[in-house]
Structure 1
Amino acid sequence: MKQLWDLAGVFAYLSLLTVGGGMAAFPELKELTVNTYHWVTFPELLHFYSLGQLSPGPNMMMVASIGAVVGHIPGAIVALVAFFLPTGLLTFAVGRLWTHLATWRWRPAIQTGLGSVAVGLVLAGAIIMGMGAITDVFYGAIGLAVFLLLWRTKINPAYPIIASGLIGIGMHYFGLS
Structure 2
Amino acid sequence: MPLKPVGLWELVAYFLRLGAFGFGGPIALAGYMQRDLVSRGWITEGEYLEGLAFSQMMPGPLAAQLAMWIGFIRHGLPGASLVGIVFILPAFLIVLAISALYVAYHGLSLVQALFYGIGPAVIAIVAHSAARLARVTVGTEKRMWLIFGTVALITVVARAEIALLFVIAGLVGVFLYSPPRTWKTSTGGLPALIHLPPLSGATVTVPLFLGLGAFFVKAGAFTFGSGLAIVPFLHQGVVLQHHWLNERQFLDAVAVGIITPGPVVITAAFVGYLVAGFWGSLISAAGVFFPVYFFVLFVGRYIIRYREHPALKGFVKGATAAASGAIAGASIILAQGSIIDVPTAVIGLASLLILWRCKIPEPLLIATAAVAGLVLYHG
TM over 0.5, shorter chain: yes
State the 1:159 CA deviation. 3.0
Q: Are residues 166 and 116 of structure 1, via their aligned partners in 2, closer, same or farther at CA, if it must alter by over 3 Å?
A: same
What are the superposed Cα offsets for residues 28-79 of structure 1, whole Å, 9 maximum, x if unpaired? 3123222332222211111121011101111221211221222222211111
Contact 1:25/1:121, CA 8 A, preserved across alignment? no
TM-score for the superposition, normalised by structure 1: 0.84
Give the RMSD, CA atoms, in angstroms.
2.2
Contact 2:257/2:266, CA 8 A, preserved across alignment? yes
Contact 1:61/1:80, CA 8 A, preserved across alignment? yes
Give the aligned residue type for 1:13: K
TM-score for the superposition, normalised by structure 2: 0.42
User: What's the counterpart of residue 128 of structure 1?
Assistant: 333
Of 45-54 and 24-33, the range deviating more from structure 2: 24-33
User: What's the counterpart of residue 228 of structure 2?
Assistant: 23
Q: Are residues 10 and 111 of structure 1, via their aligned partners in 2, closer, same or farther at CA, if it must alter by over 3 Å?
A: closer
Q: How does 1:150-161 map to 2 (within 5 A)?
A: 150-161=355-366
Q: How does 1:1-177 map to 2 (within 5 A)?
A: 2-90=207-295, 93-172=298-377, 175=378, 177=379
Of 10-19 and 33-42, the range deviating more from structure 2: 33-42
- Partners of 2:362 and 2:290 in 1: CA distance: 29
Query: Structure 2: 5+ residue runs without aligned partners?
Result: 1-205
- Partners of 1:129 and 1:91 in 2: CA distance: 33
Contact 1:27/1:128, CA 8 A, preserved across alignment? no
Q: Are residues 15 and 102 of structure 1, via their aligned partners in 2, closer, same or farther at CA, if it must alter by over 3 Å?
A: closer
What are the superposed Cα offsets for residues 64-95 of structure 1, whole Å, 9 maximum, x if unpaired? 12212222222111111111102332355443
Give the aligned residue type for 1:57: G
State the 1:107 CA deviation. 4.6
Contact 2:228/2:264, CA 8 A, preserved across alignment? no
SS in 2 for 1:45: helix
Say which structure, 1 or 2, has more relative contact order (CA 8 Å, 6+ apart).
2
Give the aligned residue type for 1:130: A
- Partners of 1:151 and 1:113 in 2: CA distance: 26
Contact 1:30/1:45, CA 8 A, preserved across alignment? yes
State the 1:114 CA deviation. 3.5
Give the aligned residue type for 1:70: V
Number of residue pairs aligned between Structure 1 and Structure 2: 174
Contact 2:232/2:327, CA 8 A, preserved across alignment? no
Q: Are residues 35 and 114 of structure 1, via their aligned partners in 2, closer, same or farther at CA, if it must alter by over 3 Å?
A: closer
- Partners of 1:112 and 1:96 in 2: CA distance: 20
Give the aligned residue type for 1:114: A
Contact 1:15/1:83, CA 8 A, preserved across alignment? yes
